[in-house]
Amino acid sequence: MNTFDFGIVGLGVMGRNLLLNIASQKFAAAGLDLDAEKVNSLQQEADAEHTLEATTDVKHFVELIKRPRAIMLLVPAGKPVDSAIQSLLPHLDEGDILIDGGNTYFTDTDRRFLELSAKGIHFFGMGISGGEKGARFGPSMMPGGDKKAYERLRPIFEAIAAKVDGEPCVEYLGNGSAGNYVKMVHNGIEYGIMQLISEIYDLMKRGYNLDEDTIQKTFEEWNESDLKSFLIEITAQILKKTEPDGSRLINQISDWAKSKGTGKWTSQNAMDLQVPVPTIDAAVFMRDMSKSKPERIEAATKLIWENAKTTVDTTEAIASLKSALYFSTLITYAQGLAMLKTASKEYNYDLNLETVTKIWRGGCIIRAEVLEDFRKAFAQNTDLPNILLDSNIAAKLNESQKGIRTIIQFAVQNGLPTAGLMNSLAYFDSYRSENLPTNLIQAQRDYFGAHTYERIDAPGIFHTQWND
């Protein structure tokens, strides 16, 4: 009793694999689940080399863990988290630590943080990225909460995290719900990049009529270039998978896309903060559009665009597609990072974006080669309001923008949907515009609602009687 280093509540896929990861790193790990089958299955993993115990008894589980106790909850977001907390509370002592490792909306974490602080319990919201394999062999982890209490967790988290150049992909991020918030934005960026890759794939297949082998090999080659990333890597593997008859599995998968809501949370909160994230918004919109399959089938027969087919050079097309994807990927990261910058001030997180980009380099779903460039940019200028203002990143965008303009023109001419690519370019062109036509919007608002406006030639607030 009171000798185990760490406990996990919820022995589903993530909980089980994280617990095995912890045990593999020579920490004593305890698990709790109400499902006896899951408990028995995990118990069978215990051996002489790994100190591992699982139980269905809450009191026994808590008594196993040494003080101050460190217990992670890996249960579905919402009421199940509150229920798990309530079941543990009678057995906890002042100074114990609870960690919510699920995809919880950040305001719920803020509420629990305050409620448990009043009881002397430290509460952490921690984003975990990497899926089943990452949980077992090294995820990226994003903890936020009490900085002093994090020292109890740090040795374990650093041991089980993914490593890049010997550095663990976990670090204390900030106050309150900072960890859950960073994970929410991570997932928004993930939505955006996945949408961009799907559009590039569609252009290859339906636009440029590339054969399946060429498309698959192109993604493989791109993963050996500046586009190298986990999402490009798995795309190449997905496109290679065949059915027993030799046909590609991808062609049999429905285009009715599912989602769990984290991308939507990012878009909603970005609007609250008045931070534009149009590529992420477009990704959410396209998943919603995918659900209208019956209507789209009918619309395909009624809403027609005919365009004369033109001959294109395949090599040039692939080069332009690569530039377009690289450009729009940078823009998507830029939107998410700008959102984190604003949220850090709004919610008093005190985020360090060099730290955020550093721990995203390995283990997580959006890990990519370009994150090292972002880390270096924020290391040189911690006050950088937007990664696009870094000279190195700006040069990369300037070099690759011709490709995305070429691809979007082709997509428009051929009636192919490219909401992610179009919104990425719109963000870039808006951000680089010294003057926007929103002065007309200001005048319109003043005309019909007397909302006033500012002038560029004089300070103050002005109103005009427009119809006088």
Task: Give the catalytic positions in this structure.
Answer: 183, 190
Residues 6+ away with beta carbon under 8 Å from 418: 199, 203, 407, 408, 411
Tokens of 229: 């990333």
Query: How far are the Cα atoms of 107, 287, 447, 452 from residue 103, in angstroms, in the given order?
Result: 12, 19, 45, 42
The secondary structure of residue 205, as a DSSP letter, is I
Query: How far are the Cα atoms of 191, 228, 286, 396 from residue 232, in angstroms, in the given order?
Result: 14, 7, 20, 19
Measure the CA dihedral 305/307/309/315, to 10°: -80
The secondary structure of residue 368, as a DSSP letter, is B
Buried b (16+ CB within 10 A) or exposed e, 326-349: bbbbbbbbbbbbbbbbebbeebeb
How many residues make up the chain in this entry? Answer: 468
Taking a C-beta distance cutoff of 8 angstroms, is the pair 63, 40 a contact?
Answer: no
Cα 30 from Cα 28, distance rounded (Å): 7
Taking a C-beta distance cutoff of 8 angstroms, is the pair 150, 213 a contact?
Answer: no
Tokens of 18: 């994280």
Distance from chain centroid for Cα 284: 13
Burial class of 274 by CB neighbour count within 10 A (0 to 12, 13 to 18, 19+):
exposed
| H or E stretch at 281 | helix 278-290
